[in-house]
Structure formats: C-alpha cells, structure tokens
A and B are shown apart, each in its own frame.
Chain A
Amino acid sequence: MSNITDLFNPPPSRDLSEKEVENCFYCQAMATITAFGAGVYFGTGRVFKNEKPGVNPLWWKKSVKLTGVGLIGYGIYRFGENWLWNKPNRD
C-alpha cells in the first residue's frame, strides 16, 4: 500500500516494467519541488543554522552547499524537461 507498510510486509522482488518508471507530470512536479526545496535548504546553509560551533569542518559545509547548488540545478533541469528542452520527439 505504501512504501512504509511495504517494509513490514515486503512485496515479492521483481523488475519494474517500463510503464512504471516512465516520466509523468506528477513525477516531474514532485521532483522539481523537492529538488528546489532541498537545494535551497542545503545551498544557503540553512542546515547549519544554530549548529554547535566546531562540529562541522569547513570542507563538510562546503560540500553540503555544493550539493545544494547541484540540487537546484537538477530542479531547473527537471522543471524544463519535456517542454523547454529534452522534448520527446513525436513521430
């Protein structure tokens, strides 16, 4: 029923069909929102607000920020996919 209840009652292993993993409007909207939200959260350093001083080394903060920037980039890519760029060729 859901991914969490599947933990306790796992479905049999199988390969997913192409139809189940193809792109869809919901998927794209959800991925865009998630990527933007997480990207802003990580990229602007909000994660480390009110942190204990000295816990996080600088390289760690920088790599988290870089991940955030990458997520924002991915969000932009997902936002425009299929209608601004990477259009499916309809033939």
Chain B
Amino acid sequence: MSFLWGSSKPEEPKTVAAANNNDLQQRLGFDPSQVSSLNQAINLDAAKLHPLAELEKGVEYLDIEGESILSSEGSQNGFLPSRGFNDDLCYGTGTVYLSALSLGGAYGFVEGIRNIPRGTTSGKLRLNTILNHITKRGPFLGNSAGVLAITYNIINSSFGALKGKHDDWNSLAAGFLTGAIFKSSKGLKPMGLSAALMTGVAAAWCGVKRLAN
C-alpha cells in the first residue's frame, strides 16, 4: 500500500508507529511490526488458548473404536472387525459356515465327478449327479461347522469374561470342550477323538493369529 500513501510524510508516522507499537505489544503480546510471518504471530501455546479447555494435556482424539465391555486384552484377532463377543460370534460363525460350505461343496464336486455312472452321455444327467453330491455334502458340513463355531465362541468368550483375559489357553480349552460336547452322545472314544481334533484346530487358529500379529 506504500505507493498509495507515498513518502510525503516520512518522519511523522514512524514516531506514531513506535508509540503504537509499545501500546500494541502490551495488548497483543507481540510486536506487530516485527512480525514477518503469521506462524510466528500466532503462538499456539495450547495453555494460552483457553485455560478451561485444559488443552495442555494434549488433544484428545475421538475414540472411534468405542468402549466395549468385552474388549479386554487379546480379544482382537486382526482379521475381522470385532468389537467383542457379539461380533466374534456373528463373524466367526458366518466365516466358518461359509468356508465349510465351500469346502464341502468342493468335496461333493469331486465326489460327484467320480461317481458319474459309466457310459453317461447326457450332459444333464452328469450335471445332476454332480449337483446332487454338492448339495448333499456342502450344507451338512456347513451346518456342523457352524454349530461348532457357535459353541467354541460361546465357551471361549465365557472363559475370557471369567478370567478377564483372552489368551491361547482359553482357546485350547474351548476347542477341547467344543469337540467333547459335539460328540457327547456317541461314546467316549469319538468324544476324545473330536476333542483332540478341535483342540488341534484351536491351536492352529492361535498359531495363525500369532503369525498375523
């Protein structure tokens, strides 16, 4: 703006400015004539912004995870979005069911191809045989695995809630109990076998979680 005001009165404004500067310095806490950039001028000392805001403790960010009662130590597995028992149960069951469904379906597919009657030329009949085997194996395996997943999750979460901590021992014990309950009406030997199998699966799951984290 200097070209507008020109330099007709070079002396007088300076003294006024000096007097003003003192005044301003007391009011603002800095000398406006010394300011070269805005970053200096705005001294972002958090404590000075507002004493009531208690900003000197640091800015508190919004807690997007929310506070779940069950989100105790070790409850996150890093794969699926989980905010506690409910999500563990829903996502765990859904994932396990769908995996088992596809696995059973694939098994049924192979079985169906092997079991096509000899000398069949009709494509429709072949397709039907394969589909019969897929629909026989897939849902059965899915249902069983889904029930196992529910039982496991309920037992595991109960252990976690009782102990206040989720660790690998919970998983192993839950796997053992799940297997035992699943075959509880078939006698001791199948019970032991399925319990051992489920403990193995739980151990494998724990290992995968360790590797992933």
Count residues of A near B (Cβ-Cβ below 8 Å).
Answer: 5
Nearest residue (CB) in A for B105 is: A37
Kindly state the separation between the CA atoms of A2 and B89 in the bound complex, as whole angstroms: 13
In-complex Cβ contact of A46 among B86, B90, B131 (8 A): B131
Are B131 and A44 interface neighbours, CB within 8 A? yes
Nearest residue (CB) in A for B87 is: A1
* Closest chain A CB from B183 CB (angstroms): 31
Kindly state the separation between the CA atoms of A2 and B83 in the bound complex, as whole angstroms: 13
Kindly state the separation between the CA atoms of A2 and B81 in the bound complex, as whole angstroms: 12
Kindly state the separation between the CA atoms of A2 and B93 in the bound complex, as whole angstroms: 15
Kindly state the separation between the CA atoms of A9 and B184 in the bound complex, as whole angstroms: 39
Q: Does B135 contact A (CB under 8 A)?
A: yes
Kindly state the separation between the CA atoms of A2 and B131 in the bound complex, as whole angstroms: 32
Kindly state the separation between the CA atoms of A35 and B86 in the bound complex, as whole angstroms: 29
A to B contact number (C-beta, < 8 Å): 8
Q: Which residues of A contact B128 (CB under 8 A)?
A: 44
Are B135 and A2 interface neighbours, CB within 8 A? no
Are B90 and A44 interface neighbours, CB within 8 A? no
Chain B, residues 110-134, CB within 8 Å of chain A (1/0): the string is 0000000000000000011001000
Are A2 and B127 interface neighbours, CB within 8 A? no
Kindly state the separation between the CA atoms of A1 and B90 in the bound complex, as whole angstroms: 11
Nearest residue (CB) in A for B101 is: A37
Kindly state the separation between the CA atoms of A46 and B86 in the bound complex, as whole angstroms: 35
* Closest chain B CB from A20 CB (angstroms): 16
* Closest chain B CB from A2 CB (angstroms): 7
Q: Which residues of B contact A1 (CB under 8 A)?
A: 86
Kindly state the separation between the CA atoms of A60 and B131 in the bound complex, as whole angstroms: 22
Q: Which residues of A contact B127 (CB under 8 A)?
A: 44
* Closest chain B CB from A79 CB (angstroms): 16
Q: Which residues of A contact B131 (CB under 8 A)?
A: 40, 44, 46
* Closest chain B CB from A50 CB (angstroms): 11
Q: Which residues of B contact A2 (CB under 8 A)?
A: 90
Those of A44-90 within 8 Å (CB) of chain B: 44, 46
* Closest chain B CB from A26 CB (angstroms): 12
Chain A, residues 1-18, CB within 8 Å of chain B (1/0): the string is 110000000000000000
* Closest chain A CB from B167 CB (angstroms): 27
Nearest residue (CB) in A for B102 is: A33
Kindly state the separation between the CA atoms of A40 and B128 in the bound complex, as whole angstroms: 11
* Closest chain B CB from A62 CB (angstroms): 16
Nearest residue (CB) in A for B98 is: A33
Q: Which residues of A contact B90 (CB under 8 A)?
A: 2
8 residue pairs, one from A and one from B, having the closest CB atoms:
A46-B131, A44-B127, A44-B131, A46-B135, A2-B90, A40-B131, A1-B86, A44-B128
- The interface of chain A, by Cβ under 8 A from chain B, is 1-2, 40, 44, 46
* 8 A-B pairs in the complex with CB atoms less than 8 angstroms apart: A1-B86, A2-B90, A40-B131, A44-B127, A44-B128, A44-B131, A46-B131, A46-B135
